[in-house]
Amino acid sequence: MNLPFIKQLRTGKVKRLGNDEAKDPMERRWETGMFKEERKGKVWLTKTGLAEDEIADTKVHGGPEKALFAYPLHHYDYWQEDLQIDGINAGAMGENLVMTDADEFTTYIGDTYKFGEAIIQVSQPRQPCWKPARRFKVLDFALRIQNSGRTGWYYRVLQEGDVEAGVHLELIDRPHPEWSLAACNEVMHVRKEDLAAAYELATCPLLAQNWKRTFEKRLRGQESSLEKRVFGKNIENN
């Protein structure tokens, strides 16, 4: 079994971009922490993320369940072909961890790894928002990410410590081999009528709470609209 490899470690400060007076919503003022730079050497990892990393919208990003965002490097080959944008490469999704030897089919909810001095655990796939679309001026980019299954994923931090790039993660535990991230994405976004699968995933103890709440709403017959998340401020009425 190949162990996930941390190709790059990335952090960034919140940036304000755009123009308040722009007529096109895609050109208007916005804030984001997704422009992250590669970090060399050791970086302190806390329960809420890497030292010196900033989050623009803490209501939907960051926090203990989303302390680290990981994205597979090889996905960028797909996006370069799909979007015909040369500049979409490592770091373009705003990831903290640029990964190799791992993807949504080989990563599972609850996977627990030793990462340097820290211990991290997979909590959920990413549900893409409107900000990558704003960055690359592709209105439906969030939907493309979601529908492709190339979402990336988040880790929670069980033990703080110094971490650095250029290392393999050491697998400590895989308690839920039945729930790959690809399977989770399918239940969330494709098999919406499969309430049995929604119930089963909602009861997975190591799934992030916000995913549990979404499935609990679905089981009550309530389905949230995607528009605000995937289009957000990129369209006039949101």
Sorted by where each starts, the structural domains of the chain and their CATH numbers stand as 5-234 (2.40.33.20)
Tell me how far apart the alpha carbons of residues 6 and 148 are, in angstroms, rounded to a whole number.
23
Distance CA 215, CA 109 (A): 15
- What pLDDT band is residue 134 in, cutting at 50, 70 and 90? very high
Which of 23-32, 89-98, 202-211, 221-230 has the weakest average pLDDT? 221-230
Listed residue (111, 114, 203) closest to 154, CA to CA: 111
User: What are the DSSP calls for 176-187, one per residue?
Assistant: -TT-BHHHHHHH
Q: Radius of gyration over alpha carbons of the chain, in Å? A: 17
What's the one-letter identity of residue 102?
A: A
Please write the tens of the pLDDT for every residue from 14-54: 999 999 889 999 999 999 999 999 999 999 999 999 999 99
Residues whose CB is less than 8 angstroms from the CB of residue 88 and which lie 6 or more positions away in sequence, other chains included: 76, 79, 80, 136
pTM over 0.85: yes
pLDDT at 238 (0 to 100): 62
